[in-house]
Structure 1
Amino acid sequence: MASTARPPVVPADELKSFSEHLQSSTTILTLLGAGLSASSGLPTFRGAGGLWRTHTAQDLATPWAWARDPGLVWQFYNYRRHMALSVQPNRAHIALANLTHHKPGFLTLSQNVDGLSQRAGHPLDKLKLLHGSLFDVKCSDFWCKYKEQNNFTDPIVPALAIPTDETDITSNEARRTRELDISDTGVDLPEISLRDLPHCPECKHGVLRPGVVWFGEALPADVISTVDNFIQSSPKIDLIMVIGTSASVYPAASYVDTARAKGARVAVVNMDRNDEPASGMMEGDWFFAGDAAQIVPEILKSVIGETPEYSEL
């Protein structure tokens, strides 16, 4: 009977050369993108035509949308929080979190806002969120500096609760039972007043907003400064891993190029072989094509050992 053994997740020769380099590396950068979350089964927040209900992301993810209708904006982000909490960190998230305990000079830059790296136990001092997080909140009052990290309460306030029956088509249960698209407008969203939105516990009057970077806002200065200081203070960067992203736009592309200039070899993990960094692949780089949840634990195994499945305990 013919053998049905599956081919290895990573070719043996590539795994060997990468593992040897990883073991000898002391300064490592990792850049994460949406492809890593796709391995957890996180669905897109957009429905047919790129819409959420009848809105584009640009309609809702802006300071002007917030000023116009914070209740609608919070319903959009509460839905995204709810969907992110409906899935679990995958083994790639866990493997990267474990690598921080074996390589002190390891820093992860994430373009994801879904909180999966945090839930996997990735230390916050080793995880820099370029676009913020759905689960960070901050006061929208100009004079108040209140911020809270890793608020995983779902819903964040009772008024934003998503029903689990068919009265609201954006609920997970309703989508499973009726197979409706999240952009369906058959059921109106409720209007939520300011008094029912989450309020700042510090100043008492400001409304809390999602701690994500909206269109028209600058990337967080403290995050960019920390990353720049890490790079500038490192005499040499040994490795940069690019996982689930093409790293073709700023600032991702600049980090790949800067790491290369400091001697780094590049390892890309992506489903699509066409998703290369803007500067392309060079001799000595690695491209591991496939599911990050399978590949990342395999290529880090020589340093961190076996990677378990996620457990909340």
Structure 2
Amino acid sequence: MPPRTSIEEFRELLKSSNRVLALCGAGLSAASGLPTFRGAGGLWRNHEPTSLATPTAFKRDPALVWLFYAWRRHMALKANPNRGHYALAELAKKKDDFLCLTQNVDGLSPRAGHPEAKLKLLHGSILDNKCFNDNCDYIDRNNLSDPVCPALAPAAEDYPPGQTIPLLDPYVPAPSIKVEDLLHCPQCKTGLLRPGVVWFNEPLDKQMLADIDNWILQGPIDIMLVVGTAAVVFPAAGYTQQAIDQGAIVAVVNPDPESGEGLIDEDFFFQGDASELLPKLFEGVIGKMDEHGKIL
């Protein structure tokens, strides 16, 4: 039997539910117009983006890595939260025992007003800066400066639609940036600041993971929402099964029809854009939402 697709049935379940866990991925931010991590063509200035997202790359060329992330910061700050972000934020406010886990680093969920205590940033935030020194715990949270420092101004320039951005053109030399002009740690005075995201070959925050596990084990979970993610990378991939083990009914929201595979007949699958579907799915709890994400 295929999973359920009735919005009305889901609304009734949500209204009667106490504990709800949500796991969100890039599909949540798609309607905000953010480019994917890899960008057009899968490369960034002929660099594989994954090759820039490592501590080794930062040690080797911190200016290049910072240019990449300063450009991504600029795109994130230009974007606005969409109705999906606002709907999740409103649901978090209405449901006392709600927790949202997001794999996104774009900062759009916090900007939508999602209560901090009910949001776990699995991979950190591109709007945070932290010291690269292992023995220094300095973090500058939610820095909205654009550019993040004067030396990185080329990454925060806008150009007319259709015009190739020089920073993204591999045939245009990258701006020359001195390491001494990058952000330095004000606490230890010796380390460079780096983007506050989790890079490849780095562990996720142990305390955050422990807090999530403790929440999951506190009691039965009524609904496991999986929004805009295939949830194939651990530990995110394991949270759906943990929720099922706690009795959860799974509800997947994703434009990809294959993302509903593996669901059973008591689960739900809603194929489409999260920014359009989440306000409809949550309407019985949060009320009607206008096109700007405001509750009517």
TM-score, with length taken from structure 2? 0.92
- Unmatched tracts of structure 2, length 5 or more: none
Aligned residue among 274, 279, 287 for 2:269: 287
Code of the aligned partner of 1:14: S
Query: Is the 1:31–1:241 contact (alpha carbons within 8 Å) kept by the matching residues of 2?
Result: yes
- Partner SS state of residue 54, structure 1: coil
1:150-299 residue pairs with structure 2 within 5 A?
A: 150-162=142-154, 171-174=157-160, 176-179=161-164, 183-233=168-218, 235-276=219-260, 280-299=262-281
CA distance in 2 between counterparts of 1:209 and 1:193 reads: 15
- Partner SS state of residue 178, structure 1: coil
1:20-169 residue pairs with structure 2 within 5 A?
A: 20-162=12-154
Query: Is the 2:151–2:182 contact (alpha carbons within 8 Å) kept by the matching residues of 1?
Result: yes
- Unmatched tracts of structure 1, length 5 or more: 1-11, 165-170
The Cα shift of 1:179 comes to 4.7
**CA shift digits 1:64-123 (9 cap, x unpaired):** 001111111100000000011111100110011111111010000001011110110112
CA distance in 2 between counterparts of 1:131 and 1:160 reads: 23
The Cα shift of 1:163 comes to 6.7
Query: Is the 1:108–1:127 contact (alpha carbons within 8 Å) kept by the matching residues of 2?
Result: yes
How much is the aligned-residue C-alpha RMSD, in angstroms? 2.0
Code of the aligned partner of 1:305: G
CA distance in 1 between counterparts of 2:280 and 2:274 reads: 10
CA distance in 2 between counterparts of 1:249 and 1:62 reads: 17
The Cα shift of 1:201 comes to 2.1
Q: Out of 298-307 and 197-206, give the one that drifted further.
A: 197-206
- Structure 1 residue aligned with 2:288: 306
- Partner SS state of residue 161, structure 1: helix
User: Aligned in 2, Cα 1:24/1:143: closer, same or farther, shift over 3 Å?
Assistant: same
Code of the aligned partner of 1:139: C
The Cα shift of 1:35 comes to 0.6
User: Aligned in 2, Cα 1:48/1:83: closer, same or farther, shift over 3 Å?
Assistant: closer
Query: Is the 2:252–2:268 contact (alpha carbons within 8 Å) kept by the matching residues of 1?
Result: yes
- Partner SS state of residue 72, structure 1: helix
TM-score, with length taken from structure 1? 0.87
User: Aligned in 2, Cα 1:181/1:207: closer, same or farther, shift over 3 Å?
Assistant: closer
Number of positions where the alignment pairs a residue of Structure 1 with one of Structure 2: 290
Sequence identity, in percent?
51
After TM superposition, the runs of 4+ consecutive aligned structure 1 residues lying more than 6 A away are: none
Q: Out of 244-253 and 31-40, give the one that drifted further.
A: 244-253
Code of the aligned partner of 2:119: L
Q: Out of 292-301 and 246-255, give the one that drifted further.
A: 246-255
